[in-house]
Structure 1
Amino acid sequence: MTYNDPEKYCVRVKCNGNIGSGVLIAGETTFYVFTAAHCLGKKEPEIEDILIEKQNDYKSVFENIKIVAVKEFDYDKDYALIEIDFQREDRLFYQYNLAHQFIAQTDVKFCGYQGVNNGEYRPFPSKIITISDSSNCFKIKLTEGETFHQGGEFGRHIASGLSGSGLFTIRHNTPFLIGILNSVVEEQAWNNDINCCSVHHIENYFKSYIDLSDLNELRSWTENLEKTYIEKEIIAFKDSKSDFFEKLNRKNKVIYSDIEKANSITTRQIKRYLSMLQNIRLLENEAPHLYIKFKSIVAKYVNLVEEDYTRSVNKNNEALDLKQTLQNRLKDELDFLPIKMDIDFADFQIIEWLGMCTLNFTKND
């Protein structure tokens, strides 16, 4: 399990004979558990009556979480927010975002403690089926293959304990908390439907929200996420393979006369190289015969590259022309590779050769 899994934020809530679930949230200066109010009883309880416990995985022992205060309790709307003292594993809180708007038919996932087996949590895949923006609530249903109708028992009995479970949707490998579970629909859990309330109820406690129904905002968020990811990857790449980075940058300063442009192109090439490297590994795993053929052609070119293309040049465009000629030649030989992988294998190989000095350009003084 990684820190990005919704299961990592799941807790068990006990209070005056009630058992439910909850989800961990990080505020600006403190931490909280968001849960269904009925998990705490019909009226706001004393903090000494509340027990919140967390597991590191579904088979590990429970560890108690210290409770500071009940910040919100609304039995009618069925939500509660509990401030906690949580010093360990702070970093896991910053792996997801909050989303206050979303669209129907979105795939979602929740994780909680069923009353029939409340000694370990269980994740459930589901889908949003309808939304009420005016009431800040929505309804989900379990996806095909999942059901609360088991062994002749009413659905409410099977689902008991799941109230308060955090409900997440995933965008670009990032979880977004959109709300919590309140209750199944009727005793029979008709159609495996579940009523939920959104994080909108506690929005005053948190500054950062994403509107998943606004495609422009989501696109902007995605671009910022990608930019941050790329910057981190490039820094990590420079730290671990600084020689590769420096050699590639030095060649680009020969190929391009403008130093700023050379630096910018090096950064973009590293970005492409890291992205394409994942596709190369995919090719190796899923089509090993094509990967072997690809590596065979690359190996055949090594001596040719060193003998016919590596040289000192008088002008920048000489190096650029040589690089482009080699790339086009290699591209023709690699046209058997799948286009649907959306990767220029020749471009990948040229970048790698430049970074390894198989392809080397120097400038005549």
Structure 2
Amino acid sequence: MSSIDWEALKKVDQALIVISIILAILINFLLLYKVVRAAGGLSSLLKSPRGPRFQTLVSLTLGDILVALSSFVVLARLLFEGEANISCRTMVLSHDYQVFIMPFVYGMGLAVLLTEWVIFRRRLRKAPASRMGQGAMVIWSVGMTALPWVWGIVFVLPLSIADVDMSGDLNNCPLFSDLMTVTRKKVLICVCLFFPSCVALIIGCLILLSGTKLCVCNARITNPGEVIAMQEQTATMLTTPSAPTQTSAPYSTSCEPPLSHEEAGADLLTLQPRLDMYYSEKEKRSLFIASLAFCVCVIPFAVLGFAHTYDTVPEDLKLIELVIFGELTFWLFSARTFVLPFTWIISGSLISSNLHSTENR
């Protein structure tokens, strides 16, 4: 029976935590720069019609920089310095923020982004006079952005640290001695890992499968008499009559004479549809891919944790196989910190400025 080289495994973990910290810093700061630039600067984050989108991305990015990276630093200290310099309180809070709070906040943040996609397009269908004012838009944006964090602080944080004694040393810490009840662990795994993953993926699938309504702007009409059918509306272009040959004008002299058929056909006709917006298929796919990537990173770790709470790990599973599976799921779970931001960057659709001023037209 092959044994585990724990020293070699520790070196691998040390290398992975260093790589994770570097990637998380670089990718999250790059995403933050791109989002702020796309919004038109920090002062435009609150005023933009796509405020909930930009502000949610900024809040999730800052959360990964400040919260998730703090947990990475604590784990790095544990791997490089040992347990002597880390208190139980620091380790418990670091573990809870990394494993429970940030995944919940990020998953619900994805749900907010998906919901914003739908609400923004419904709002565009309204007449400009019936849309939100600037003050209401700011309140709406801040409220939607704050929702995931409020839920995390109000529901998840008390559930994870309530009645947990964190005054002891690291050897008697609830994280390692399993002083947290099995029922609480099951609830935390379901609420913080399974629930946001399923919500984000379901909404992403529904949006991906929903029809995209296109509108055509500044289109050249080769035949002025044709009827142009669109999903959102139908606009009929009428053929203008040819200019009369007689010298006397049968029409009012206060009006301009009509164009000839050739002039009307050669002129660039601009449709004015009720939706002055092009609905981006790429944005829908980006949201769905991000939701799918979140599930891929989180679900395996949640399944393993749930199996441990039920003590359903197969008995014939060798220790080395269990360790390898645990390492893979943990580092895949930790990779969410830079995999999701990288997804936003390469997709480009959620951090582009081509749609953020559409509603102001």
TM-score between the two structures when normalised by the length of structure 1? 0.21
Larger RCO, structures 1/2 (Cα 8 Å, 6+ apart): 2
Question: Going by fraction, where is strand more abundant, 1 or 2?
Answer: 1
TM-score by length of 2: 0.21
